Amino acid sequence: MPPRLNLFSANKAVLALRQPTVPSVASRSIALPLRFRAEQTTPAQKRWNSSKKEPNPDEQMFPTQDQLPDVSEEAAEIDRIMNKEKSCDGQPAHPELEQGTPVEEQILQRDEEAMKHMPKVMQQQLKKTKGTRSFSTSTRSNQPGVEDSLQADASAALLADMIQQVNSQALERNPGLKFDAPEIPTKTMNFRKRYDSLQEQFTKMLMQDGKLARAQNNMSIILDHLRTSSAPNPNPRRPLIGGPPAPQLPLDPVLYLTLIVDSVAPLFRIRQVKGIAGGGTAVQIPHPLNLRQRRRAAIKWIIDASDKRRDAQLAHRVANELVSVAEGRSGVWDRRDGQHKMGISGRANLGLAPRRR
């Protein structure tokens, strides 16, 4: 048996998680100096050539227009030029450019004389680089502490108590839910459908070559047939489920159709699963169906069975088959019984089936 857990794919997933997320952070810090540098260098590189149109006097740049860069920028620029080969692509990636550099780092460390004549404040700071910051420089949290204010205010405490009480009550009422469960709108609440859901499903399954209008026409013939043919004479061994007594059925053809389809709808389908019993034999495992799937199976059986009839029109074949189902004569009942028999015997195999997500 192959291992359940695929280590290959698992590792790939982990890889994806571990991928460093540098670019998202770095791009901001790198991009800014780039733009800045472009602004700086363009005037120097610009060639005035006669073929080009003279720019507006407002747009013109002059060599003296830009003031000299500040100390750190100049240093960076020089550093870039000097160490061009060392930094791989010449990108100035110095974080100092956007943040600015403390004077003591940039100048005073290089210049020992200047260090001596450094202002007093800076000297003091150098001495106590370690330890806690003074209050003035520590960041304050943006929001004032909620707890503090609550403690201070007695009425607020009372309110908090009440909220807690209500919450606990709600928890008792709906265990697992803090609030009432939201009402999920059903499908039919939002818009009105033209046809009954089963009628629509049947019509779509009658459709051939995508010709829906023709299928609808056929469906109306079928319903008219159900409406005009004599009331079914039900077989007591194969009764229709629920509904009004048989003589009343033809007057409500959609209900009649629904009862017929629902009566022969199987409860489950049989899945043939290979490889759990070994020896290459397939194991039959019943798989429950929802309402729409059950109806689909029944409609398919009915349409398949109607193919063997001799009537000239498709609609008449299907309609006659429906009536014979209602009277318990159709082979569709046998098919359903067979399916259920197989499902009952296959119940034992349910434990063998691999669990599906």
CB 88 within 8 A of CB 29: no
* Cα→Cα distances 255→89, 198, 248, 250, Å: 78, 9, 10, 9
How many CA atoms does the CB half-sphere of 316 hold within 13 Å?
5
Minimum CB distance to another protein, residue 189 (Å): 5
- In the chain, % helix, strand, coil (3-state, to 5) comes to 55, 5, 40
Do the Cβ atoms of 326 and 260 come closer than 8 Å? Answer: yes
HSE, CB side, 13 Å, CA atoms: give it for residue 23: 1
- Minimum CB distance to another protein, residue 122 (Å): 17
Nearest in space to 331 (alpha carbons), one of 282, 355, 289, 298: 298
Q: How far is Cα 285 from Cα 305, in angstroms, rounded to an integer?
A: 25
Q: Which of residues 253-272 bind another protein (CB under 8 A)?
A: 253-255
27 binds another protein (CB under 8 A): no
Q: Within 50-196, where are the H helices?
A: 71-82, 96-99, 103, 112-116, 120-127, 146-152, 154-173, 187-190
Stretch that binds another protein, among 16-24, 283-291, 321-329, 331-339 (CB under 8 A): 16-24
- Residue nearer to another protein on the CB measure, 152 or 181: 181
Residue span binding another protein (CB under 8 A) among the ranges 56-64, 141-149, 181-189, 336-344: 181-189
Chain residues 197-226 in contact with another protein, contact rule CB under 8 A: 199, 223-224
Q: By CB under 8 A, name the one of 43, 69, 95, 242 that touches another protein.
A: 95
* Residue 177 binds another protein, judged by CB under 8 A: yes
Interface characters, 44-83, with another protein (x: CB under 8 A)? ---------------------------------------x
In this chain, which of 77, 252, 262, 327 binds another protein, going by CB under 8 A? 252
Distance CA 40, CA 66 (A): 8
Give yes or no for residue 279 binding another protein (CB under 8 A).
no
> Residues touching another protein: how many (CB under 8 A)?
60
Query: Interface with another protein includes 281 (CB under 8 A)?
Result: no
Candidates 70, 161, 311, 337; binder of another protein (CB under 8 A) is 311
Given candidates 178, 310, 355, 356, which one binds another protein under the rule CB under 8 A? 310
Q: In the bound complex, what is the minimum distance in angstroms from residue 250's beta carbon to another protein?
A: 4
Can you tell me which of 168, 174, 233, 272 binds another protein, judged by CB under 8 A? 174
Q: Is 105 an interacting residue with respect to another protein (CB under 8 A)?
A: yes
Main-chain dihedrals φ then ψ at residue 108, nearest 5 degrees: -70, -25
DSSP 135: G
Q: Which of 1, 4, 5, 8 is close enough to bind another protein by CB under 8 A?
A: 8
CB-wise, 146 or 251, nearer to another protein?
A: 251
- 235 neighbors 253 (Cβ within 8 angstroms): no
- State how far the Cα of 62 lies from the Cα of 36, in Å rounded to an integer: 17
Are 107 and 100 in contact by the 8 Å Cβ rule? The answer is no
In whole angstroms, the minimum distance from the beta carbon of 140 to another protein comes to 28
Contact range with another protein by CB under 8 A, out of 36-44, 112-120, 136-144, 305-313: 305-313
- Whether the Cβ atoms of residue 215 and residue 195 lie closer than 8 Å to each other: no
Measured at the alpha carbon of residue 82, what is the angle toward residues 80 and 88, in degrees to the nearest 5?
55
Q: Does 14 bind another protein (CB under 8 A)?
A: yes
Residues of this chain that bind another protein (CB under 8 A): 7-8, 11-12, 14-15, 18-19, 22, 26, 30, 83, 86-89, 91, 93-96, 105, 174-177, 181, 183-186, 188-189, 192-196, 199, 223-224, 227-231, 250-255, 307-313, 316
